[in-house]
Amino acid sequence: MNHGQQSGEAKHEDDAALTEFLASLMDYTPTIPDDLVEHYLAKSGFQCPDVRLIRLVAVATQKFVADVASDALQHCKARPAPVVKDKKQHKDKRLILTMEDLSKALREYGVNVKHPEYFADSPSTGMDPATRDE
């Protein structure tokens, strides 16, 4: 009996973290609106009347985007800075979220985003005129 009670208590403790978190979620407003998350979840077949679960998904998504963005930021910062004059050495470098950084960051998460570098009008565009077949 005691053992059963103890294991029951242990289980209860494990659940407690999750239940407490779900309760605290009602105070935290995720960036992605609840209705939108619910819409996309319903689109893929997941139905749930509980708002806390929707918020859980929204927070998880927010965390995912934040992780991706921080990785992209790391890549962007790690790129060698362009040559600047001595006077402007301490100027803040403006960081732009580019496709290159994003694709590198998403690569780790299993999302392959291959972005073509440029688009050409025809296969022979940009080639040396001497070698071009006409």
Partner 1 sequence: MTNGGGEGGSQRRELQGKRSISRGNDFAYAVIRMAAAQICESVEISSYQESQTREGLRFSSFQETALETLTDVVIQYIQNIGKTANFYANMAGRVEGNALDIVQALEDLGSGLGFDGAHDVDHCLADSGVVKDIIRYTGEAEEIPFVYSLPRFPFNRGKRPAPSFSEIGAEPPDEHIPIWLPAFPETKMSNGSEETNVDKIEGDVQSRENGPSLSSMQQSVDVDRLKVQKSMDQKDVQKPTEEPEPEGNPFLAAPLWVGEKNVSRVFPPSELTKEEIRTNHVPEKYMSKSHHIPALEAYALSDKINDKNRLAETEDGQKRDGGRTERALLRFKIGTRKASVCWTLNQCLEEKGWFQEDGYKREKKVEREEKRESIDADVK
Would you tell me which residues interact with partner 1 (CB under 8 A)?
11, 14-15, 17-19, 21-22, 24-25, 28-29, 31-33, 35-37, 39-50, 52-53, 56-57, 59-66, 68-70, 73-74, 76-77, 90, 94-99, 101-102, 106, 108-111, 113, 115, 119
Q: Which is nearer to partner 1, 10 or 127 (CB)?
A: 10
CA atoms within 13 Å, Cβ hemisphere of 73: 8
| Contact between residue 42 and residue 21 where contact means Cβ atoms under 8 Å apart | no
Q: Which is nearer to partner 1, 96 or 130 (CB)?
A: 96
How far apart are CB 131 and partner 1 at their closest, in Å? 25
Alpha-carbon distance of 6 to 100, in angstroms, equals: 53
For residue 58, give the nearest of 35, 90, 76 by alpha carbon. Answer: 35
